[in-house]
Each structure stands twice: as C-alpha cells, then as structure tokens.
Structure 1
C-alpha cells in the first residue's frame, strides 16, 4: 500500500494522507458537546495510553459538528498510534527514535514568510473588537466534567529570550479563563519559563504566540528537552530536519513575535508580569485536567496569565486537541525521549544500544525499555551504565528495563517474559533514591513515604533483565523453522 503520494506539510495534508489509509481516520457528523462529551467519545474510540479502562488504540477522529462552533471542526488522536506517527513522518514505527535523533543532529532553522502568504491569517479577530471572546472563537474541549475549564492542549507556544533573541517552541496546558485571558502552566525547567522570568524581572510582558493545528513533525519535535536541546536551541529546526525543509513562520499582527504560518489557529498575546490567577477560578473543583500519568492534575493556586491580543485562523479551521493521558501524549513525549537516550548512549558506547521504547504505561516519560547487545565479556555491566546514561539523557525518567537483543522492546509480553525468566530481584535491581523526577507523579510526595524529601523527588530504578554474558549460551530461545507464512495465510501477510 503506497502512502507516498501526499506530502505532509501541515495538519490538512496530514488528514488527507490518513484518509487514503484504511483504519487511520474516522469522521462523524453527529453533534458533539466539547464539554467532556468529545473526550468521552474518543476514550472508547482510540485514546489508549494511561486512560482509565475501557479504552483502546484506534483511529484518529474528526468531529464535523461541534456544538456552539458552526464553522469549526475538531480532530483528536492524530498521533495516538505509533503506527500512525510513522506514517505521518514517513518512517517505520520502530525507527522513529532514530529519525528524531538524526533530525536533532542536523537541524534546519525556520524561515519567515510575508503576511499575505500566511494561511494562518486568512481570518483575523482583534481582542479590542466588540463581541470578541476566545471561548467562542476556539472550540477548546474539556476532557472531563471536573476540568478547571476548556483547555488548549496542542498549542505550539512560541516566545523569545528578551536578552539573547533566542526563540523556542514548547507545549503547555492553557486554560481559557475569560474572553481574553488564559492561564499557562509551567513544569519547572522549561525554556519558555526562563524567557518569562527574564521579562518579568524587568517588569515587561513576554510576547507569545500559540499555534494550533500544525504539521505533526512540529508537534513531535517540540517535545525535546535538555540536554539534547539546550537553552537557545529552537526545536522548530528539528521539524525542518524531519521534512528536509524549513518550517515557515510569519510575523504576528499585534505582538512582536512569530507564529507558525500554516497553523489552523494562532493566538497572539502577552504573558503579563507579576500577575497570577487561580487555575480553577471558574469551576472551584480543585482539579485542572487529566495529565499523562492517568490522574487529574490538581488546580494550581497561582499561574501566569496570558492577555490575548488577537486570534487569527484559516477559513473553516480545524481545532486539534489531545486527551492528556492518551497514547498521543506517549508518542509526543516518548519518541523524543527515545531519541535523546539513543544519542547519549551511542556517544558513550557505539553500537551497543539497539533500540529504546518509552513505554506507554509511563506516559512516554516515566519508563524506558532499552534493548542492549553484549558481544564480549567486557560488555557485562555496560548495560547498567547505559541505563544510568538514560536517566541523564531524560531527567523525568523513573524506571529503566534492560533487555537482550532477542527481546522485542516494543512488545510488553516479550519484556515481561524477560522479567520473569532473566531477572532476580535481589541481584538485578538497582535503586537510585532521592533524585528529581516529575511533579505530576502522585507517589512522589512525603505523604507517600517519609523517605521522600519533597514533591517531585523519586527513587529511580533499573531492572536488569539481561542474561549475564557467561550464561548466554544457556538462555537461547527455542528456534523455529524459517518459513514464508504468506503462502498459507495471504490475507494476513500480503498487505
């Protein structure tokens, strides 16, 4: 089946590609309420990830009839399947980490085009116009009925360092708070937080654009983190490398910043210095929204505030959204994590790490499975060194499972087989207590264990499920005759 006819350059071409591949996209004209119902539907269709069961992996879904938004559609689950990400980035699913690693090593900087060529500015709404209300312009869903409000979950937030001029793109949770205000949640250490703090120190607002509905290569590339992409590295250049063509930006109309020129929506605004807002001020639920570990995050008492200056969009725009704990988050966060681990370990011990999978159960952040090859006696112990490097490559990683070259890291049953037949808990477990991880893990609090000093501190663990080198000959898997199964079951293998 050929999937090379349609070149993916934006969200619409990505959708057109998926339409040509059976089982990758479904549409509905049934009216859906963006408040909790839309995500409730997709939970059953294809959310997967750490979403509460019942859920499953399935197609992306386009809602063509969104209550209160006659001219807009909403797509969800575009990246909620590793196979689909491979189709959209034109590579095999098991090679995605390698593709991202190569792109990070060969970046192509974005370019700026003129405003008259920017499809993202086909329709313009200024915040000082009568009747302006971002909540009516953008069909941002709530994932659950407890959410603090409608959330933009797939917004490419773009801002620049006021001192150096360096720019960066990241994804943050953005809650619509009023007709022209949004709260913005920062996990400590994100680059845009550094930019915001610098501007606030001088009492100045930070111009910021939020581009929604873009090329999937941008969405995946935006999720890289240090040390692979240090402060000053513009992740849009990774998307450029994936496509072998620079990402096109356009100057915003009301702020001194750029936005993604072919986005479906662009929100232009400013992060206001020394102003904070309670995330759930409109609902008082104490909840924010479902996050990648599978739990609803608590509402934050004080968050920075974005004052919206304008909303621009394409004609008949498509809003893109994601369920926080879904497989979509696993892929967006996990594939760059895999690339970062591959890069760091390859530098230290070339050819030993065969592959990495940032496992779905960890939301793409907490767990990685490393496929490691021991070729000689001196390789014994290097597998654990690789695990330590993985923790250095991605600081939010909590658990690493190491398997041999004959175990498929992407097959959870195969990994569990290795855990059950090549692992002894008292000799193959390495504990690394008291290390900073990620604040959204509810087990990482002093209330959970007195050994935990403060929220976000964790005990990182290595599960070494590799056979000791001197015993490899005694752990050979049963060998089956090599045959061509398509002769006997062509309907399964001749696709």
Structure 2
C-alpha cells in the first residue's frame, strides 16, 4: 500500500480527522495532535501535514493487514527476501529544486527543542557498495544543512566511520511520506542491507527504488532530500525522546543537502516525539525478535512491550509452561533479544497480557520474591533510560508462572459456563 493509499484507507474508514484552518509548525501542531488519532492538517505553513497515522497497535496492524492480536506472531514469520526492483520515475520527481528546508513544514515540537526536527524521514545511506535504510532524527540547522543523530554501532554509523577513515562522504537521501510498511521496515533491526527486502516481504509485493544523482536508491515518497553526510559536526538537541524526557545534546554529523524533490501538493508526515507513533515504530519491531528468541527455549504464546514502559523498556512474555525452568529461560532470552529492555515479566497462557489487572494478579499469586526475581546488575541498557548511568543499569526479570508440581493451587475457578 502506498502512503496516500493508506491515508485514503483511513479516510474511508472514518479514522482520520481534518483541520482546515492555518496551524503553526512551531509547537501548535504538537498541541493539537497530542493524544489524538490520525489527523491531517491542511495548512501548516501552506502545506498539508499528517500525524499519528500509525499511532496504535490497531493502526499498525491495519497497515499490515492482520488482526492486532496476530501481529507479533505474523511479524515473527516474515523473512527479508522480498523482491526489490529499480525504476526510473517517481512522483517526487515532479518538482526538483535546490534545497530549501524553509519551504517545508518541519515541526518544532516542544518548548526548549534544539530546533525544528524531521522525525519520520527514512534515511538511506550508501557507501562503498553498501546501503542502509534507517530512521534518524534530523535537526534543521540551515536551509540546506541537517544534524543527524547517528547511534554508534548502528549500520548508518558504521558506514559513516568507514567513510571518515578514507576521507570521504556518505551519499544519503531522506525520504519523507513513504509506504507505512517501508517505514516499519526501516525502523526494524534486520540483517545489513535487507531493509527494502523486508519491506517487500511485509507488503507481499515488490518495493520500487528510484536512483538519484548521488547514486542512492530511494522508495516512492512525498518528499526526498538528497545530499551527503560530511565530516562536519554540530550540536544536536535537546530532543524529547521516547520516554517523554529530554535526550542529551551531542556533537553529531552534518548532512549537506544538494537537491530537494517533492510531489505536487506534497503531504508532509510528522511524527510526534514520545507520541504513539514514535512508540509503535521504535518499540514494536522488537516484539517479534523477543518472540523468536523465547520460542527457542520455551513454548511462547505472545509478547507485548507495554505502553507504560514506553513500548521499549518493559516486556510481558506469555508462555505455555512445560518445564519448571521455562520461565527463567524466557526471561534470559528476552533480555538478550532486546538490548534496551529493562524489566521482563513472564506469565502463563491463562493470563491476559493486555489486561493490567490480570498481570497484577499473576504477580500477586504466582511470584515469590526470593525465588522468582532474576537480577542482571551493572549491564548495558539504554542511554534513553533517565535512571541509567551512561547506559549502564540493572535489569530485572520476574517469573510469575505457576509451579507445575502443584498446578491445582493456581488454577482459577469460574462459574459454570464462564470458564
């Protein structure tokens, strides 16, 4: 499904709201879309701008074409070998011009932000025959310069380091307003250079890529920025990240833009920092990774990264327990599958993992503190966790599963006909 095709689907289902009066890109868009469902602003600096289009599990499942409860199992079965083909034309080539970011409704989200940020752009990097597609936050510096937050060790940063070692630059493109499944694929940890193959597998149809002047291949999009990641650095931040708290100010690489391309009457996709769409795209792709890892050591039924844990730090793993050690094995597998995970709760298959009351019941009746809590002290977590010390933290796993040798003590009794 294309970006506009998905918006049309939301429109037909009555799921997208419209705002026709002028709205400022400086904090007002955030204020008017915070906590809401999909919304399309028709006049943000004379441009259309949509937000929250993938902001819930239901919306993400809709884009995938599966029921929400089947989404994790579905994603765990998808490979990365979908077809990708090169084409010569895309609608974003309708308008080609020198770069001028001031012509776009780039949003300033909160008071104290380091500047306006592009938050939904798929950054496609190419160097020495290698490519990578990922989502990076991009802070506007000037009309043709962006500061890019590149996390050390990730694939884009690896290309950047390789280019620096040779005194060269990384060819790059930023695609804004792409097929939601291309955006999901770019947000997912997959093997190197397999993002578009994974997107094609998610779509069940080929992903088409268009070559730019700098050699980068980009998917169909509303807006495309072309340029190079340079050896220049600039202060990036403050930025409100997934926790709703401010991330650090860092010296980050500068992208020098050479061209800007867009459809006639483009729709800008804005992604609210710490909003539902941010959490869905940053956190949910880890659920199938946890599901796959736990399935190697136990009979897994479902996995959920909870909203209270920012869809990133807290996992609930539902298993069908067959051996007494399954609970702790599931904890260890989940911790290893998602390096930023902080707390893991493992429950039985009769516990509804989407019901906080049922999860509390499992803790109350099936967990004993001196036997069922596993500590991982002084290990690498996430710098996004305000309680971490430069990313170092203590992780905790809780085995809230029933004891197999006395199951009768844990079986819940319900009235006849309701069991």
Give the shorter-chain TM-score range.
Answer: over 0.9
Structure 1 residues 268-293: Cα deviation after superposition (integer angstroms, max 9, x where no partner) = 110012x11112xxxxxxx5221001
Q: Is the 8 A contact 2:297 2:326 kept in 1?
A: no
Cα gap change, 1:473 to 1:310, in 2 (>3 Å) = same
Q: Is the 8 A contact 2:80 2:195 kept in 1?
A: no
What corresponds to 1:490 in structure 2?
none
What corresponds to 1:322 in structure 2?
271
Task: Structure 1: give runs of 5+ residues left out of the alignment.
Answer: 1-8, 47-58, 128-132, 280-286, 446-454, 484-495
What corresponds to 1:374 in structure 2?
321
Q: Is the 8 A contact 1:140 1:152 kept in 2?
A: yes
What corresponds to 2:90 in structure 1?
118
Q: CA deviation at 1:364?
A: 2.2
* Structure-to-structure mapping, 1:16-35, within 5 angstroms: 16-22=8-14, 24-35=15-26
Q: CA deviation at 1:299?
A: 2.0
More strand by share: 2
TM-score by length of 2: 0.96
What corresponds to 1:81 in structure 2?
56
TM-score by length of 1: 0.82
* Structure-to-structure mapping, 1:145-224, within 5 angstroms: 145-162=111-128, 165-224=129-188
* CA RMSD, Structure 1 to Structure 2 (Å): 1.6
Q: Distance in 1 between matches of 2:360 and 2:94?
A: 52
Q: Is the 8 A contact 2:286 2:338 kept in 1?
A: yes
Q: Is the 8 A contact 1:99 1:242 kept in 2?
A: no
Q: Is the 8 A contact 1:153 1:172 kept in 2?
A: yes
Q: CA deviation at 1:482?
A: 4.6
Q: CA deviation at 1:106?
A: 4.8
Q: CA deviation at 1:120?
A: 1.9
Q: Is the 8 A contact 1:168 1:236 kept in 2?
A: no
Q: CA deviation at 1:417?
A: 2.2
* Structure-to-structure mapping, 1:78-477, within 5 angstroms: 78-103=53-78, 105-114=79-88, 117-127=89-99, 133-134=100-101, 136-162=102-128, 165-225=129-189, 229-230=190-191, 232-253=192-213, 255-260=214-219, 262-273=220-231, 275-279=232-236, 287-300=237-250, 302-349=251-298, 352-375=299-322, 379-445=323-389, 455-477=390-412
Q: Distance in 1 between matches of 2:398 and 2:207?
A: 40
What corresponds to 1:14 in structure 2?
6
2:353 is paired with a residue whose SS is: coil
Q: Is the 8 A contact 1:407 1:418 kept in 2?
A: yes
Q: Distance in 1 between matches of 2:227 and 2:54?
A: 27
Q: CA deviation at 1:481?
A: 4.8
2:345 is paired with a residue whose SS is: strand
Structure 1 residues 99-122: Cα deviation after superposition (integer angstroms, max 9, x where no partner) = 22222x2521422101xx311211
Task: Structure 2: give runs of 5+ residues left out of the alignment.
Answer: none
Q: CA deviation at 1:336?
A: 1.3
Cα gap change, 1:60 to 1:481, in 2 (>3 Å) = farther
Q: CA deviation at 1:233?
A: 3.7
2:123 is paired with a residue whose SS is: strand
Q: Distance in 2 between matches of 1:221 and 1:412?
A: 30
Q: Distance in 2 between matches of 1:311 and 1:137?
A: 10
